[in-house]
Structure 1
């Protein structure tokens, strides 16, 4: 009985399994009329027999879907979502690193919102979208973009190539291979080193700045100080922005807490801050140089975020002012290509606004009319300057300025007009525009407008006559200057007294000698070609023309000497940015141009004649040492200045020792017999380029890629001299 009771209990505990019905059987099981377990994507029968398991849709409304199948679908969807999120995070991180540069830098204090910055923000601004960080679904990585740059006869690069050819002629009198250096113009090809998904300029994207940082403004005290610095320095040299109007709008925005502002005005304000930050206000120029450079770049990037897109769509006077400041700012950085491109946008915007037309000013109030005319004069001066620097055709013809050249003194625009008898910035702009008009005539007549068409150059007699004619015009221009804008000499007390009038006199003197170098350099070029027998044509100049050509070439050398002496004297008296030199990167260009001329004189003195001219060689070395001291003290820790310093040092060393092929060329040492008081400011450090950070090395690479053609060193046997860049781009 007990056994039967246990058997019954077992039967009750495990009832017979019932056949589980499924809603839909697969097609194969239905044809074979076999049992289908309904598993998806393949049932057990089809899986075992190797059949293709397919389920046909049914019109039945009572189809049952198993919960485990829905659970599997949810898991698969969740897995796909997690994978997409991982890919999105990966691409965001990759594109963010590319936007920050090729080398990862630690977060800079200047790139974050400072604690002492004003809490005011321009709340009415529309934030631009950052499309570079969106996932493209391809995991695509952009490679480096090739770039080419043309530099014509008036550029320093063309003259530097002539010096390299003369040096190669000393080392190897009969070169058998013709290189790119044999041309007066230079076409440089390199890589940008930046991915193509970024904008063509090295301006920062929104990933570089914190959220809403483009509308962040400094404290009121800092903004007031930077406005004062700008209108006392750059605003005087390039007086296109009316100070009274700018300060009035600034006061209105400050009164309402910057709640409603125009993007164009705020972008212009940030560019003013970017320019003003380059000048030292704390009296500690060396210690604050790096932080000022970083903060200046922050203001520049904010302005680009605000107005870069608008500058291509909006035509207004504020946009033109913004573009003027961008072009000026980019000339002081390694953004040389961007400076030229933005200048093209500037000229087109100004022409579209009608600044070149006097009729467009009819009916305007006197202040607006004068502001528009001054803006056009500033753009004209920048156009001629960039045409000379890059060796490219100018965008503004002299015929467009016919009505402006007759005006000798500009109208009064300063707010204290009742107390000023003369408008100093307007007067300075008027005489500067006439000087740049002479520069434009020289570019057209002596350099073929930098077009470099066939037979565009002058013969020796015509070149001699042109230089003599422009020398007379330059002296006539100098004699007609107002009394308080007279040119100064290197021994003048004006260099040491820091006043606004003295600063303008020094700047005007440097501009004068720079144009003098331009008009006389063709004769120095002819002299070097003759002495080192690197003329294009087999016929040499007539013997009776050689002495006057060499005599006229000394005018070019004299202007270069005066340029270096004046800048050296100003820096010796006051090495800070509050001295009488004005905007430092224009001074850098003047000294760099003069240094190339002095290197040509050194090459002439040591290797261009039968007997070495020791006195001229000694004087040239003294001037080059002063030039290096200027580079060392001009703007501390700036990569562009360090690049120019090393370039001049290497090139002068190569030209000085061009005749000795046994040993690699070392850096030029100070000449024997130099007195300690010859160079009162700090001497350059021979290892300065070894201490450059990644940004400095990148700037040097960009500079050397524009200056040096690697084929020059390969084909002329200079690769082993230590002068060629280690890694030219």
Structure 2
């Protein structure tokens, strides 16, 4: 009985003392029961199937740790060290045998389908909504479709606009299945090839957008090549890959097809994306912002339209975070650092203006946020610079001319297109629009007069030799001319839109239409002349002998300017077809090109696109779209020329109606995903419903 009542801790004559433990588990301490301190689970918790954990009290001291536990820790540390040593050995061996630029990333598929990234045209089924507002080519096409439908004299179903004329929600295509093409991801990248691509970048894109300090960039690349065991920041390595991607994508090699360029440049792009995923959301360095800026520019030459705009937004936010917009934020830095922070900021601003125009979306950087002085010549901040000073001086002058021109672009979008907000309650009066246009035209003429003599705009009458010593200067003059002409079209385009609306919706109030027809003659003639000049410059350049594309900028913007000019000519031809007997402009005015001249220029645009690039799906689709428009116009002209007059009005014969309707159907098939609704079946139904005599 005494034994039964004895305390568990009381000494027993036939047993040893209970072993003292340093720490009881949390479960036993809560239950206030005996714990043997076994690790990882005590005997009591094992028997009762309880969770067992040991929590050291903050007030405990002189803790006794079991030998078995220390042994297990030492064993685990030894295994970790062995694995780290093995990993470092493999990494060192790989760095000595291949380029650090071409580290193997996981497969990343960023495709979004067949939607171009300059806001020109949708070529695929549209799945995800995206806003493309008034200044975009798609918005312009929404005014062109109903006008085309009406002059066909056939009530083609679906010929009404998709939505509000100022802009609507279109859809961007759903990403396709992941690509299995990993071309170039594991191949070696010899130093000679990388050096050549770096040279290509700084002699082309690096001159047009001079926001990366070439000397510093080349020095870091040389150091990396000299000592490949030295750590390299991921942000700079990603920037290097992006420079190589851009050099390949904008290559002017005539033996390099678009498919080959895209395959190789995408390999570099995916590596840059893989290396920078952790940095893109933080934007903790100038290199990261420059990387994002290059990415957004590169993506404009792809079909990643949604990603283009998102990456640009990250670049803008990163610039604000680093204070690139602020003069005070750079006061403590060296003159060279201040200068290239400023150039990076202006690079973001110019790309922002470009995307606002092409996508038809509000600018991300308001005009009153742009207060820094313009960039200065590099030799003024770096007196040690001695090489290529004339070319670098030209590059800065060209960059400053672009900045000031795009200031006018911002004002144009704001005043003529409502800032692309799509919130206008009513269309402005025609006279107000004309007044705004004349004000903007005055600014453009002043800009042109302010250009340095060396940067005078190239005309279509010139055919400069692309291989001479002034190739960089001639390229700058050509690009500036295309930008200037395209902006003048954008300034005058609201009048063309009003004229198209008068054609496509004649049931609207006639007073405004009559005034537009009366005062819009000069604006229409101006747009026609500008479009013909753009097409002539591009056509002359791509037809010239030698490496002609050296005189043009990135192929995707040459495509944009040419395609936009061709759309303007098509719109002008539609307007003249409708107003053939009563619209000033085809009545012998010497300053206005004739319809035959316009059509010849339209055909020249299609031929120029065929020579612009090889095996380029985006270029080919745009050219095919224009061919469809041309065929539709031919059908309409043939129908009108052979009209049979009955009961005092024109009536088309069956052949003419069939031709026009089928041409319209073919053009509509090229509008897959745009909501046009045209089809061969609908066209033939229209033919059967007409009263043909």
Question: Aligned pair in 2 of structure 1 residues 418, 222: CA closer, same or farther (>3 Å)?
Answer: closer
Q: What's the counterpart of residue 370 of structure 1?
A: 339
Shifted more, 562-571 versus 456-465: the winner is: 456-465
Task: Tell me what 1:10 maps to.
Answer: none
- Given candidates 231, 245, 255, the residue that maps to 2:202 is 231
Asked if residue 582 in structure 1 is aligned to residue 553 in structure 2, the reply is: yes
Distance 1:514 1:410, change over 3 A: farther
Q: CA offsets per residue over residues 216-265 of structure 1, 9 Å max, x none?
A: 76111111111111000011111111111100100100101365212111
TM-aligned CA distance change 1:646 to 1:419, over 3 Å: closer
Q: Secondary structure at the match of 1:189?
A: strand
Per-residue CA shift, 1:45-64, capped at 9, x if unaligned? Answer: xxxxxxxxxxxxxxxxxxxx
The 5 Å alignment of 1:330-729 reads 330-404=299-373, 412=380, 416-417=385-386, 420=389, 423-455=393-425, 457-494=427-464, 499-530=471-502, 532=503, 534=505, 537-541=508-512, 543=514, 546-574=517-545, 576=547, 578-610=549-581, 613=586, 616-658=594-636, 659=639, 660-663=656-659, 704=671, 708-711=674-677, 713=678
Whole-angstrom CA distance in 2 between matches of 1:642 and 1:516: 26
| Aligned mates of 2:243, 2:388 — CA distance in 1 | 26
Residue 249 of structure 2: aligned partner: 278
Alpha-carbon spacing, 1:176–1:570, altered in 2? closer, same or farther (3 Å): closer
Long gaps (5+) in structure 2: 1-94, 110-124, 588-592, 640-655, 688-693
1:295 maps onto 2:264 in alignment: yes
Structure 2: distance between partners of 1:570 and 1:365: 42
Match of 1:166 in 2: 147
Q: How far 1:275 moved relative to its partner?
A: 1.3
Answer whether contact 1:145 1:192 (CA < 8 A) is retained. Answer: yes
1:247 to 218, 228, 237: 218
Supply the distance in 1 between the matched residues of 2:546 and 2:685 (Cα, whole angstroms): 37
Q: Distance in 2 between matches of 1:424 and 1:651?
A: 41
Distance 1:401 1:165 in 2: 40
Change (3 A) 1:234 1:332: same
1:153 aligns with 2:124: no
How far apart in 1 are the matches of 2:343 and 2:324? Answer: 9
Q: TM-score, normalised by structure 1?
A: 0.68
Instruction: Determine the C-alpha separation between the residues in 2 that align with 1:279 and 1:535.
Output: 45
**Aligned-residue offset at 1:663:** 2.3
Q: Give the Cα–Cα distance (whole angstroms) in 1 for the partners of residues 96 and 613 of structure 2.
A: 29
Kept after mapping to 1: 8 A contact 2:147/2:500: yes
* Aligned mates of 2:561, 2:170 — CA distance in 1: 23
1:335-357 superposed Cα distances (whole Å, 9 cap, x missing partner): 12211121111111111111111
* C-alpha distance after superposition, 1:580-600 (max 9, x if no partner): 002111111111111100111
Deviation sequence 1:455-505 (CA, Å, 0-9, x none): 264210011011111111101100000111111110124365651001000
Partner residue in 1 for 2:119: none
Pairing 1:308–2:261 present: no
Task: Report if the CA contact (8 A) 1:381-1:433 is conserved.
Answer: yes
Q: How has the CA–CA distance of structure 1 residues 571 and 289 changed in structure 2, closer, same or farther, with 3 Å as cutoff?
A: same
Alpha-carbon spacing, 1:719–1:230, altered in 2? closer, same or farther (3 Å): farther
How far the C-alpha of 1:323 sits from its partner, in A, is 1.0
CA-to-aligned-CA distance 1:160-201 (integer Å, 9 cap, x gap): 121111011223477897541563313223640436xx7xxx
Go from structure 1 to structure 2 and tell me whether the alpha carbon gap of 1:560 and 1:124 turns closer, same or farther (over 3 Å shift): closer
**Structure 1: tracts of 5 or more residues without a match:** 1-116, 133-143, 199-203, 669-685, 690-699, 723-729
Rounded Cα–Cα distance in structure 2 between residues aligned with 1:661 and 1:118? 71
Contact 1:145 1:194 in 2 (8 A): no
Contact 1:227-1:276 within 8 A present in 2 as well: yes
Query: Alignment partner of 2:129: what SS?
Result: strand
**Which secondary structure does the structure 2 equivalent of 1:184 belong to?**
coil
Question: How many residue pairs are counted as aligned between the two chains?
Answer: 547
> What RMSD, in angstroms, separates the aligned Cα atoms of the two structures?
3.6
Secondary structure at the counterpart of residue 369 of structure 2: helix
For the residues of structure 1 that align with 2:685 and 2:572, how far apart are their CA atoms?
24
Match of 1:661, SS state, is: helix
Q: 1:123 to 1:477 in 2, by over 3 A?
A: closer
The range that moved more, 489-498 or 219-228, is: 489-498
1:392/1:451 contact within 8 Å kept: yes
1:568-627 alpha-carbon deviations (Å, 9 max, x no partner): 111111464652002111111111111100111222233332389597222122112211
Q: How many angstroms does 1:639 deviate by? A: 1.0
CA shift digits 1:113-168 (9 cap, x unpaired): xxxx993343998x877899xxxxxxxxxxx9941111111000111121111011
Give the alignment of 1:117-156 within 5 angstroms.
Answer: 119-122=97-100, 146-156=127-137
1:263 has 2:262 as partner: no
> Per-residue displacement from partner, 1:339-383 (whole Å, max 9, x unpaired)?
112111111111111111111111111111110100111110100
Say which structure, 1 or 2, has more relative contact order (CA 8 Å, 6+ apart). 2
Q: Which residue is equivalent to 1:328?
A: 297
2:168 maps to which residue?
186
Partner SS, residue 424 of structure 2: coil
Q: 2:685, 2:191 → 1: CA distance?
A: 57
Looking at structure 2, the residues matched to 573 and 438 of structure 1 have their Cα atoms a distance apart, in angstroms, of 32
Contact 1:496 1:570 survives alignment (8 Å): no
Taking a change above 3 Å as real, the CA distance of residues 394 and 123 of structure 1, as seen in their structure-2 partners, is closer
- Rate the CA distance shift 1:579–1:297 in 2: closer, same or farther, 3 A: same
Q: CA deviation at 1:310?
A: 2.5
